[in-house]
Structure 1
Amino acid sequence: MDAVDAVYDPWSAEFVADPYPAYARLRAAGRAHWHGPTRQWLIPHYEDVAALLRDRRLGRTYTHRFTHEEFGRPAPDAAYEPFHTLNDHGLLDLEAPDHTRIRRLVSKAFTPRTVENLAPTVRRLAADLVGGLVADGGGDLLARVAEPLPVAVIAEMLGVPAEDEERGRLRPWSAAICGMFELNPSEETARRAVEASVEFSDYLRELIARRRKSPGEDLISSLIAVEELTEQEMISTCVLLLNAGHEATVNTTVNGWWTLLKQDVRPDPEKLSTAVEELLRYDTPLQMFERWVLDDIELGGVTIPRGSEVALLFGSANRDPARFGPTADVLDLERADNPHITFGAGIHYCLGAPLARLELTAVFGELLRQAPGLRLAAEPVWKPGYVIRGFEELLVEV
């Protein structure tokens, strides 16, 4: 087995549970490493990851410049077309000029005021969810608090009526679709993603039709008012806001509290925003992000040719001592200089980062206030996924 393959094993439960020692070995060994099993170039250093996120010689897609044949890649399986239609029209997987146009239009609807107006709702939901957990003496922090909060916020923001039965399907739909972002997803994962893509798209199409007839104060109504977006672009934007808009909050809440409980530390409530940034850095919810190489690049004396795929190791970059100093592997809840890249960089910087920060600050604040004696009730088990890394559950007592 190749030395890199022995160090980096994203299908290993042991690696998923603690990838950070492997990252340290990758950083020490060089700036770019070929990984045969995933057919990707691994990029472990902060400086390189941050630079490549902004480098237009790389892209989330290549179809704006090349055909599949020209790029040396097979065309997507026709059976997965509903997933690809949904995914390929969203900001996450577009490049200029389409990305520029759609982000500009979506930004007209998803403004700082949109987030600001959601603040009272976010705080009320966080207080109610934590209050329910405390009243029961504890439970699964993931299912009782971490998941319901951001999903309810996104539903509120999009204008999904509380009485619609589909509101309860938002999280399962999202989980099924996000399964395709893991490495080498199985046929069953792809089947579930396609099914969820069809059902979610059908529901949003019907909801958009309702809002055309009767606009409200919600984001879907605002997107309709922009007019220059196609219906598919609106649908893909809404799905992306749910998928990307809650994964960081869910896993940072649960992984963060596991870290706090394991190390027996608590944030200072007066410095909560600083602590949230550190928890986003210390145990990154999205461990790796991929880019296609559109033109040859050179990194540390290694030429990475056009047609390659690079794996930008966010989790490694956020623990790089070259950027975060000798305490890079230490949880410092008052870390002042903290330019983590958890939300990305460049044109694909997370549009929902302010909303995620609002949700995290609210939920951590409520848990500190209402459950000061929070403690682990059982050792948690990591989900098998590596890219979006989190626990199956986090059982706690108050």
Structure 2
Amino acid sequence: MKKYLLLSLFLLFATGAGLFAQEALFRSQQIISPEIQETNRVTFRLLAPNAQTVQVTGDFLPTVKIESPRGMVDGPGKADLKKGENGVWEFTSEPLGPELYNYSFIIDGFTTTDPNNPFLIRDVASVTNIFIIGGGHADLFKTNTVSHGTVARRWYSSPGLGMERRITVYTPPGYENSTDQYPVLYLLHGAGGDEEAWVSLGRTAQIMDNLIAQGKAKPMIVVMPNGNVIQDAAPGEGSLGLYKPQFMIPKTMDGTYEANFMDIVNFVESNYRVKADKASRAIAGLSMGGFHTMHISRFYPNTFDYIGLFSAAIMPREDATSKVYSDIDGTLKTQMENGYKLYWIAIGKTDFLFDANVEFREKLDKMGMPYEYEESEGGHIWRNWRIYLSQFAPRLFQ
């Protein structure tokens, strides 16, 4: 009798577990969205029979001016979906060029993700769907049939910050089976980002895999740290638990990160097979990460031979009282006199930081400090930063 009771309980548990496992299937809609056509038009669909209005918003649509914590910036437009007799709303775009795009639905004024598209990215606290139109530079963003590197989340000790912290590290194809030493690119995120940003939004692993496979970039290690010094890891991944990410948090641009950056370099050079010299180190970052890059590279003026400022947030700050920010002109001059192989600046024409970058380049021009400059279309957007990485990486360690 006891044996039959145990068997019955097991079958009941197994049946229940199966029901829970199938729950996601019951909630799914048997609809294709987005559907990319041969003409590169994209059709979006949503089953919402009781909705009054449905719109799609995304960076595949013409931009509009929107208010943000950074002032008026370019934002995605909106398009209306048309309701069919079956309660499925639908919209088809114009033909789209090669790019990684993001989008969301707006149902009766409520913004949400597409339930038929499981591919998502998080930018600060906003979650959106993505799709890729292939061809041209967008093929770098795809996972192609090439040799692949490894992405690892590592924890390092930061004596300066008094905590264990997490970084994301990309090692190139073949690293594990090789005895070679590799150069290192330290790649820094912007405000609101963390050690996940460049891998998820920036497609770093795909870009590096494809550039290396094409022979356009040297095999290198890419280190993506967390620039928020009060965090040990990205929200939900560290000791602070599950909480809503914020655009700006305390101490992000007060000099603490820059002053303790060598803790990261020391960890990498002690735990990976790297070429630990100036000629084999590069540093680059977007927005706040560009701010950090500029200050780290001049504060340690004989450490990096390659410097990349992507839409850098170079502007005066009230909390910039750290010794890191003292004698900026003098340390830039020392950095210039020590020599470097590439100082690369890139920004979009409509970026809200454009004027600040013009002023910084005027400073460098006055000093006679060499740099290369890339000016693109668009504003303060990941679409630009992915391209900047794909342009910058092939210039390194040649």
Indicate the structure whose relative CO is greater, using CA pairs within 8 Å and at least 6 residues apart: 1
Q: With the length of structure 2 as denominator, give the TM-score of the two structures.
A: 0.24
Instruction: Please say which structure displays the higher CA radius of gyration.
Output: 2
Name the one with the larger helix percent: 1
Name the one with the larger strand percent: 2
Q: With the length of structure 1 as denominator, give the TM-score of the two structures.
A: 0.24
